């Protein structure tokens, strides 16, 4: 098998939570589908997922929409059962969803309700979906779990980035993303001998209509001098999903333009 063949996802079934989302979700979904996977995007809005999947099918890609509320364990169980019923297995699970109700405001503005929302979606939800899918992957002989963390799961946010703007970085975000990284290592350690690999991707800042002041501040600090764009995460996702990384597990791959190198 050639090195390019090892990157192919033909014959694989990939599930991406929040896979129709306008930031990382669509980038990840498009990359997996273009690499040949049968793609299923899942979030609360079945309509949005089906509409996005339709745009991929128009390009000749194999894409499908599904519904799942990560703050609701029975909904996760329903998604898992639906995937097995429709496709027979899941080879790749990418957890890119984020509970937005738990990710707003600075420390002074946050209250227990915000933290409970983060816990319900980003901790309980991640635990439940990984627990369901990792077991069926192991029973089938293997799979790849990719959790989307952040630079802020490894280092603290830099308050100077937000000077001159009204933007605030919620403390729940760093709390969730840091925990995700070590939970991923746990999965890698306990399920590696059953053929399941688990890794994190930690992106840097993504260009998303931020104030120009923030963009300028960010670009001055980033070694590559810019924020991420749509394509920057795609190669890394396909790498970790495919046999090109078959001896890679328990790692946290920084896709941050060098942000955490300094």
Q: Residues with catalytic annotation?
A: 173
Q: How far is CA 143 from the centre of its chain?
A: 16
Q: How is residue 120 annotated by DSSP?
A: I
Q: Cβ contacts of residue 137 below 8 Å, gap of 6+?
A: 89, 90, 91, 93, 143, 145, 191, 195, 196
- CA distances in angstroms from 186 to 118, 190, 237, 250, listed in the order given: 21, 6, 20, 8
Beta bridge pairs of residue 93: 15, 145
Supply the angle between the helices 234-241 and 24-34 in degrees, to the nearest 10. Answer: 50
- Region label for 257, one of left (φ > 0), alpha (ψ between -120 and 50) or beta (otherwise): left
Nearest to 147 by CA among 235, 245, 250: 250
């Amino acid at each position: 098998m050639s090195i390019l063949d090892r990157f192919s996802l033909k014959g694989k079934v990939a599930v991406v939570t929040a896979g129709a989302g306008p930031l990382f979700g669509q980038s990840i979904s498009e990359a997996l589908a273009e690499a040949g996977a049968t793609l299923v995007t899942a979030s609360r809005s079945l309509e949005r997922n089906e509409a996005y999947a339709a745009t991929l099918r128009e390009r000749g890609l194999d894409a499908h929409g599904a519904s799942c509320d990560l703050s609701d364990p029975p909904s996760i169980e329903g998604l898992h059962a639906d995937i097995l019923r429709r496709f027979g297995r899941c080879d790749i699970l990418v957890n890119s969803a984020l509970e937005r109700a738990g990710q707003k405001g600075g420390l002074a503005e946050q209250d227990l309700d915000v933290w409970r929302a983060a816990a319900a979606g980003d901790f309980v939800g991640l635990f439940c979906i990984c627990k369901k899918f990792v077991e069926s992957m192991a029973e089938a002989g293997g799979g790849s779990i990719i959790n989307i963390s952040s630079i802020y799961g490894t280092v603290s946010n830099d308050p100077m980035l937000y000077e001159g703007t009204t933007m605030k970085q919620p403390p729940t975000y760093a709390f969730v993303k840091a925990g995700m990284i070590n939970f991923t290592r746990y999965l890698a350690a306990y399920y590696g001998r059953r053929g399941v690999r688990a890794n994190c991707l930690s992106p840097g800042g993504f260009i998303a209509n931020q104030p120009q002041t923030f963009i300028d501040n960010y670009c001055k600090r980033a070694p590559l001098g810019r924020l991420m764009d749509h394509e920057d995460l795609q190669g890394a996702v396909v790498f970790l999903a495919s046999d090109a990384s078959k001896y890679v597990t328990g790692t946290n791959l920084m896709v941050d333009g060098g942000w955490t190198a300094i």
